[in-house]
Amino acid sequence: MDRIKIVGGNKLNGVIPISGAKNAALPLMIASLLTDDTLTLENVPHLADVEQLIRILGNHGVDYSVNGRRERQDGAYSRTIHFTARNIVDTTAPYELVSRMRASFWVIGPLLARMGVATVSLPGGCAIGTRPVDLFIDGLRVLGADIEIENGYVKASAKGGLVGNRYTFPKISVGATHVLMMAATLAKGETILENAAQEPEVVNLADCLNAMGARVRGAGTPTITIEGVTSLSGARVRVIPDRIETGTYAMAVAMTGGDVILEGADGNLLSAALVTLGQAGAEISETNSGLRVVRNGHGIMPVDVTTQPFPGFPTDLQAQFMGLMTKAKGTSHITETIFENRFMHVQELARLGARISLSGQTAKIEGVERLKGAPVMATDLRASVSLVIAGLAAEGETTVNRVYHLDRGFERLEEKLTRCGAVVERISD
């Protein structure tokens, strides 16, 4: 099993290219199930989750081809992938595939809308809370689906087709917003989704669906209106830059010091996080090629943060920000409101010398002057990269085990950091 060795103490200087967003690419790929034409996606990142979803879509009969794979001097991929679901050969998504990645459950929406039937295993993925599928099921039922849960599978049918309706999410869910928006594109009549997620990835999907001939309005606001159409066509769509990767590398620069251009980054996608980083002492400015991040000479200042749905501070940057706060000049507090079990990185950060105490949903971080390298274990995708951030500033050597978590969401992380002066090495047993 691979692990990453980090020797801390080096500032980051140079250019880090920002990849396409995993959280945008996955629903866009799934949208290919809605049409028998070809959906072409540009700027698709090369990640374990993307490759796994390609296998899952292949199980349903989706053909794919890759072109434009371009090895850039800075080590990043830029891939264009063509997806064609001309014939859906199987409407079942089996446990052995779905259990490996939570987002693969989302195929239930397009399969049900296009084929009138779908059988999908209950999902797996990161162990950061229950994240139940109740909202997906309730919403699809409102659109006219008959749904039963048997032997760990969600069995859905809508033999006469889905029918537009009004659905109010009892709590904001990005995944459920994706699924119901896709399902409603082929439903009869108008669907109104209230209290919908406003994340940029939702807007990217809506833009894709509209390019395919859908009629979606209001994406990026709490109310999304979808007027159903009889069929969708192919399209060519670009995956937005990864705002979580952007924030992660910005925090790495804030942690280590230095001066880095985040090439291709879009500050509008994570303004709340950038404001918070500014309060912590990073200087962030827009450039012609992306964002420039510089750590000022006054050290890291403590900042209190509460995670919120977009446009608030994202839960997917909570662990990374906690890593940064371990070396702040004072005490900070981080309150996690999205997932109930997303503090598993705390005990691993403590192995590096961090002083963190938990009380319910809130972590109290007392900044320390020095972190010291140690072997640590990644517990999930975002937790794993928080350990990398801490390791970059720790004295001596840090070894992060279970880096397959990193490979799910960060494209060529060690190469990008190494090119900016970090000492990071992947070790394969």
Of the candidates 29, 126, 254, 420, the residue annotated as catalytic is 126
Across the range 239-261, mean pLDDT stands at 97
Q: Is 23 annotated as a binding residue?
A: yes
Q: Is 102 annotated as a binding residue?
A: yes
Q: What is the CATH number of domain 22-238?
A: 3.65.10.10
Question: Using one digit for the tens of pLDDT, what is the confidence trace for 359-376?
Answer: 999 999 999 999 999 999
Q: Is 253 annotated as a binding residue?
A: no
Question: Using one digit for the tens of pLDDT, what is the confidence trace for 104-124?
Answer: 999 999 999 999 999 999 875
Question: Using one digit for the tens of pLDDT, what is the confidence trace for 331-366?
Answer: 999 999 987 777 889 999 999 999 999 999 999 999
Task: Please tell me the pTM assigned to this model.
Answer: 0.94
- 208 an active-site residue? no
Question: Using one digit for the tens of pLDDT, what is the confidence trace for 374-392?
Answer: 999 988 877 889 999 999 9
CB 7 within 8 A of CB 28: no
- Is a pLDDT exceeding 50 seen at residue 130? no
Ranking 35-44, 91-100, 329-338 by mean pLDDT, the lowest is 91-100
Matching fold, domains 3-18+241-427 and 22-238: yes
Q: Is 338 annotated as a binding residue?
A: yes
Q: Is 309 annotated as a binding residue?
A: no
Q: Is 131 annotated as a binding residue?
A: yes
pLDDT at 129: 42
Q: Is 133 annotated as a binding residue?
A: yes
pLDDT band at 75 (very low <50, low <70, confident <90, very high): very low
Domains of the chain, residue spans: 3-18+241-427, 22-238
Does the domain formed by 3-18+241-427 have CATH 3.30.1490.190? Answer: no
Task: Quote the mean pLDDT of the chain.
Answer: 93
Across the range 193-202, mean pLDDT stands at 98
